[in-house]
Structure 1
Amino acid sequence: MCTATGSGTAVQTLSSSQGRSMSVEAAMMEAGTSTQDALELMIQERTLSGDQDAFMVADLREVVKKHYQFQKALPNVMPFYAVKCNARKEVIATLAKLGTGFDCASKGEMELVLGLGVSPNMIIYANPCKQRSHLQYAAMKGVRMMTFDNEEELPKVAKYHPTARMLLRIQTDDSHSFGQLSSKFGATLGSCGRLLGVARDLGVAVVGVSFHVGSSSQNVPSYTQAIADARKVFQTGTELGHHMQLLDVGGGFPGTEDVQPSFEEMAAAITSALSTHFPEDLRVKFMAEPGRFYVTTAFSAALNVIAKKEVIETAGGSDCTRRRLIYYLNDGIFGSFNFLLFEENRLQPLVVKKPCGPQLLHPSTLWGQTLDGADKILDDVALPELQISDWLVFQNMGAYSVSASTTFNGFVPMPVHVLHHADACSTI
């Protein structure tokens, strides 16, 4: 990486520093190959062949590193990876090899995980509102752990999955999260006693509590308050005859290191709250549902400039003008950048250029390839002037990208090239 500057602004560029030549296939197998190496080699190959299609590179060693980081910070909490975040088989297989559980929201996600040899005991069907056929599938396959947050779900479970082990999902304060969930899911504290009583009367076993403070949470007290609330529900459940033994603290953990509060700060607060409200003599087991934490940094995307415009802008009635450059890229909001619709934009594209010296920067807008007016990736980003067929690289693209891509306007999701998938767990 090197930095191009101009007008007091900095922009990162991606440029080859290895000075070596190898095939892309060989690069994927070489133990020392980094994501940057692979991106450079694949871009070089495409430039020579005239292939402009966007693509992703995934390094599963990043997933392994995140698992060890999670274990170190929350040693008493069992991670159940949220499959919805990134459902690539290579990711699931790597995490299964590491011994994590899996948070599934549908029959399709359960099929994927079970098909890779994961035990049904390592799956939580964490959708509080379940389609009957999906519930029946869980019963047939022996997936017993699942969540609920409403009374109407209980007769359905009693009829179609009587051996289920339920966790009551409670509401949280998710006002400091970018992806808020409590308006859709979660029982109020005031309704928990009634729900637990109905479950008892129907013979449905409730074994614990779950919550989720929202995606990309930025508020540590949301976790600590939710844990305190969960303790109250545990007490009510125990009084009503339920064997309460499991607490699921959900997800919301950040995927990168450049955010506050950090994952370690969140983990420290969670550990303290668990110790306070769930001391060891209660013999409660803890689990979590991390998603973006595991996969964000493992994926990078390379996009091609497919079209370009120049606009001369006038500032507020004055005679001052500035030159804005508008670029159209071959992926966007309806593809791998879908996550921009519901979370803060922290993207900074890397310019793939050989020169690494001072360059004049221009205010630039990056559009996706569809005909929809909402398909804007970035606005007012400072970039050196690009040409058609130039490449831009976006890092930290692993969360809610490939899993949320659509085929809108007939554009297909970009392919993913996986590094070190065979030996990811053994090379850390």
Structure 2
Amino acid sequence: MKIVNAEERVHILDSQSNVWSVIREIAYTNNQEEAFYVCDIGDIVRKHKMWKARLPRVEPYYAVKCNDSLTVLEVLSTLGTGFDCASKAEINKVLSMNVRPDRIIFANPAKPASHIRHAASVGVSRMTFDNETELHKVKKLYPNAEMVIRIRSDAVDAQAQLGMKFGCNPITEAPELLRIARSLGINVIGVSFHVGSGCREPEAFQRAISAARDVFDYASTLGYQFHLLDLGGGYPGGHGTSIDKIAEIINSSLDEYFPDPSIEVIAEPGRFYVCSAYTLACNIHSIRNVIETDPETGNTTNAHTMYYINDGVYGSFNCILYDHQVIVPMPLKDYAGSKYQPSSIWGPTCDGLDQVVENVLLPDMKVGDWIVFEDMGAYTLPVASPFNGFPIPKVHIVAEENIWMLLQDLLPLSDDHFEMLKVPAKKMREESFSDFTLPHFPIRIEIPANDDALFEQYVID
């Protein structure tokens, strides 16, 4: 892993430190006022270990759109994931890390012509489609592409539905599209689907895999020999979530519908890898008390407190508008014994729609206090804007000492990339990582040699 951005230096945690202790260290030193993130690389490594254990047959192709931080991409590339890209800019970002083109799937069913031409020029051959127009574009611009037909199979309950925009009907539309592709001489190699981002109905994967089997079988009648199944995204990644049930259904469905081990199975997890890795800290810069007067007695009471913080829906909290995320504010200080009262949280811009939390019980906080938001790694920073001149929060990268040792042993890093943080651990969050052990899974390291790339397998004991 190469940390190429000076703003993303990695801080090494000792065994007594954790994300929350780092947040306190940053918040209460050097007159810190701007909102900031802490990203835990170890959380990403643990997620990868979990994926490989739960879904051993499914190769993850990380959805770059979810969080395109170079640090995140470098770590995942080092761990051996592929990448799901949706544009030529995302393709270029991944290729700039010396990732091979065959580790990329261009998973956007409706692509601008210039992006198709670019994919052809850099050798990214796997691309998705769900309409006839795309087939004719590819025939003209990239006739040697390896196409993957995307079918629609929606979960009943998902954080963000995608079927209204992408995916052909597997029964009424897919056969006709495959016949057209065959007549055009286009190489279709498999089927993809996406049940919806943040899927909350694991059974949706069984329906989708069953539908994909039917499309495989029909394609064989046209002379196609499909060999790729793309399970798309939808895997939750926040604190308190689990992919265990989804993994159980996927594994059993693959055994039933795709027992042939020669079929390559991939997926496009995004939030699973990065959601819980990012924690956001925001500073209260203003407070407004909404006073209520009793019409009978004339007595006044503070009926509601409005807290104004230095990040909002035009910044990190765009995830509320576009990703339907439920935000949980947590005060950084310990307010034991404090009376909790109805409150709301507002962003810093002049837009009245810039509301982060509409109604929540919070203690009596002061200007300069901090509020922390966990699970802020997915679909936040890539969409954030500096509207009204308010900056996008800086990201502080942290890793446990044993993660640093793993990276130091395997990758060409120098100590200049890292800083030791000796932060006293406190009891507000019981998240000590001192018992963390190194993962036992192969890590694929890309080593340039002349014009080619050699790959070696490392197993961390």
TM-score, normalization: structure 1?
Answer: 0.88
Would the alpha carbon gap of residues 257 and 28 (structure 1) be closer, same or farther in structure 2, given more than 3 Å must change?
closer
Q: Which structure has the highest helix share of the two?
A: 1
Would the alpha carbon gap of residues 136 and 315 (structure 1) be closer, same or farther in structure 2, given more than 3 Å must change?
farther
- Equivalent positions of 1:4-403 (< 5 A) are 28-32=11-15, 33-45=17-29, 49-189=30-170, 190-259=172-241, 262-280=242-260, 283-313=262-292, 323-353=303-333, 355=334, 357-403=336-382
Distance 1:372 1:113 in 2: 36
Is the CA contact 1:210–1:248 (under 8 Å) kept in the aligned structure 2? yes
Is the CA contact 1:94–1:425 (under 8 Å) kept in the aligned structure 2? no
Would the alpha carbon gap of residues 403 and 316 (structure 1) be closer, same or farther in structure 2, given more than 3 Å must change?
farther
Distance 1:98 1:200 in 2: 37
Distance 1:27 1:225 in 2: 42
- Note the C-alpha offset of 1:112: 0.6
Would the alpha carbon gap of residues 197 and 313 (structure 1) be closer, same or farther in structure 2, given more than 3 Å must change?
farther
Secondary structure in 2 matching 1:370: coil
Would the alpha carbon gap of residues 241 and 318 (structure 1) be closer, same or farther in structure 2, given more than 3 Å must change?
farther
- Note the C-alpha offset of 1:134: 0.9
Secondary structure in 2 matching 1:297: coil
Distance 1:168 1:242 in 2: 12
Is the CA contact 1:106–1:127 (under 8 Å) kept in the aligned structure 2? yes
Distance 1:318 1:347 in 2: 38
Distance 1:363 1:163 in 2: 61
Secondary structure in 2 matching 1:184: coil
Code of the residue aligned with 1:198 in structure 2: it is I
Is the CA contact 1:39–1:57 (under 8 Å) kept in the aligned structure 2? yes
Distance 1:307 1:80 in 2: 43
Q: Which runs of 5+ in 1 are unaligned?
A: 1-24
Distance 1:393 1:315 in 2: 35
**CA deviation vs aligned residue, 1:116-153 (integer Å, no higher than 9, x gap):** 11110000000000111111111111101110000000
Is the CA contact 1:253–1:263 (under 8 Å) kept in the aligned structure 2? yes
**CA deviation vs aligned residue, 1:182-222 (integer Å, no higher than 9, x gap):** 00000112111111111111111000000001111111221
70-79 vs 305-314, greater mean Cα deviation? 305-314
Would the alpha carbon gap of residues 425 and 397 (structure 1) be closer, same or farther in structure 2, given more than 3 Å must change?
farther
- Note the C-alpha offset of 1:158: 1.3
Distance 2:296 2:315 in 1: 38
Code of the residue aligned with 1:207 in structure 2: it is I
Match of 2:446 in 1: none
Distance 1:316 1:247 in 2: 67
Code of the residue aligned with 1:37 in structure 2: it is S
Would the alpha carbon gap of residues 69 and 424 (structure 1) be closer, same or farther in structure 2, given more than 3 Å must change?
farther
Is the CA contact 1:60–1:424 (under 8 Å) kept in the aligned structure 2? no
Distance 1:104 1:271 in 2: 25
Would the alpha carbon gap of residues 356 and 310 (structure 1) be closer, same or farther in structure 2, given more than 3 Å must change?
closer
Would the alpha carbon gap of residues 157 and 325 (structure 1) be closer, same or farther in structure 2, given more than 3 Å must change?
same
Superposition RMSD on alpha carbons, in Å? 2.3
Secondary structure in 2 matching 1:167: strand
Distance 1:179 1:72 in 2: 26
Distance 1:82 1:317 in 2: 59
- Note the C-alpha offset of 1:342: 3.8
- Note the C-alpha offset of 1:258: 2.5
- Note the C-alpha offset of 1:27: 8.9
Is the CA contact 2:41–2:398 (under 8 Å) kept in the aligned structure 1? yes
- Note the C-alpha offset of 1:412: 2.3
Distance 2:151 2:405 in 1: 37
- Note the C-alpha offset of 1:315: 9.8
Distance 1:272 1:37 in 2: 42
Code of the residue aligned with 1:41 in structure 2: it is E
Would the alpha carbon gap of residues 26 and 105 (structure 1) be closer, same or farther in structure 2, given more than 3 Å must change?
closer
Distance 2:364 2:38 in 1: 25
- Note the C-alpha offset of 1:321: 6.0
388, 397, 406: which is aligned to 1:418? 397
Q: Which runs of 5+ in 2 are unaligned?
A: 1-7, 408-437, 440-461
Secondary structure in 2 matching 1:87: coil
**CA deviation vs aligned residue, 1:335-386 (integer Å, no higher than 9, x gap):** 1111111445433222122x55311111110001112222111122111111
Distance 1:205 1:384 in 2: 61
**CA deviation vs aligned residue, 1:71-102 (integer Å, no higher than 9, x gap):** 11100000000000000000000000000000
